[in-house]
Amino acid sequence: MADYSRSKELKKFDDTKAGVKGLVDSGIVNVPKMFIRPADELAQELIINPTHTNNNNNNQIPTVDLSGTEAGGSRRKETVDQIKAASKEWGIFQVTNHGIPLNAMDEMIDGVRLFNEQDLGLKREIYSHDTTKTVRFNSYADLYTSKIADWRDTLFLSSFRSDLDPNEIPAVCRNSTMEYVKHIKRLGETLFELLSEALGLRSDHLGSMGGSKGCSIVCHYYPPCPQPELTLGLKEHTDPGFLNVLLQNEIDGLQVLHQCQWLDVHPTRGGLIVNIGDLLQIVSNGKLKSVRHRAVNKNAGPRITVSSSFSGHVSLLHKTFSPISELTSEPDPPRYKDFVLKEYYARYLSKSDGKSLTECYKL
């Protein structure tokens, strides 16, 4: 339409503070233009994935059993080797027997569902695009600057500046969130130990760098989409931090780019998805791989995910990061520039070219 105004459509949508779920609840049958991917991008999709062969067992991400991996455990070396291979070749793997009770995972998912399906007025109270707020709800952080809006609603619970205050968390998901965070922090410490050993370092090396400090929780709610083939729930990207741990309900949607093909990552009951971030690829001097991934939509749902992001803490903002010296040598010199973490995250928040930060800091 000649008189179409994207800015007006965005503002009208944003002003409702009802999110994508509000659109679905209104009964729409056609996706608004602000969510529709460009024609050339949709055409390119057919080139990348001409057929769906990604159900082949050879194309499933690795699964790592964490049982018996306590210090001195019978399976620790085997597990470290598996994590090393998965992090180098894939940048993503699933963990089972990770120590988080199934009921804590189920209650976390249910809490996110209850938050999104409660009275709209309660959600509107914390609707905001202010990234300095510890707890906030919105549909898309870059709503006004991105070329396409993503089909999802998000509850952010950030511990970047301080520990989560239970009183700030919405009442409907407060208890489940605090219980889950307690477990996920322990798992994060374990994963950083295993990854340190996978790099041939002391088990506390990555932890001592601040890798496990701060764990922000990002809860995505993907309502059923009437035209899922035209949209994305989460655009292709890499994560900027050290490590992400993803909990998801039973609905497919996560895809990872592996060997130039998008592969589905199917949810497994009780499993958690772990992916390497840009910061960990950089400090490992490229020995661990930050993986490109995205979320596609379904005409079913809601799909619910909880991403626990280990991205450092405000106390690290003025610290300089660079490839770990023990991982460089004359035949394998540093591949990335030194940088201050504050500048690193400022660049991440300002860039809109879709590049990973690993590309920005290459020597």
State residue 198 phi and psi, 5-degree precision: -60, -25
Kindly state the helix (H) or strand (E) to which residue 110 belongs, with its residue range.
Answer: helix 102-116
Please list, residue by residue across 120-152, b when 16 or more beta carbons sit within 10 angstroms of its beta carbon and e when fewer do: beebeebbeeeeeebbbbbbbbebeeeebbbbb
Supply the mean pLDDT for the chain. Answer: 91
* Over residues 226-251, mean pLDDT: 96
pLDDT tens sequence across 94-117: 999 999 999 999 999 999 999 999
Residue 1 or residue 124, greater confidence: 124
The SS3 of residue 202 is coil
Residue 292 CA from chain centroid, whole number:
10
CATH code: domain 17-24+31-318 is 2.60.120.330
Name residue 89's amino acid: E
| pLDDT value at residue 161 | 62
| pLDDT value at residue 54 | 47
pLDDT tens sequence across 134-177: 999 998 767 777 889 999 999 999 876 667 889 999 999 999 99
**Contact indicator for 162, 182 with CB cutoff of 8 Å:** no
| pLDDT value at residue 199 | 98
Domain ranges of the chain: 17-24+31-318
CA dist list (Å): 241 to 11, 60, 81, 165: 31, 24, 23, 22
CA–CA gap between residue 118 and residue 114 (Å, rounded): 6
Q: What is the DSSP string of 237-295?
A: E--SSSEEEEEE-SS--EEEEETTEEEE----TT-EEEEE-HHHHHHTTTSS-PPPEEE
The SS3 of residue 205 is helix
- pLDDT higher than threshold 50 for residue 221: yes
| pLDDT value at residue 353 | 64
* Over residues 48-68, mean pLDDT: 70
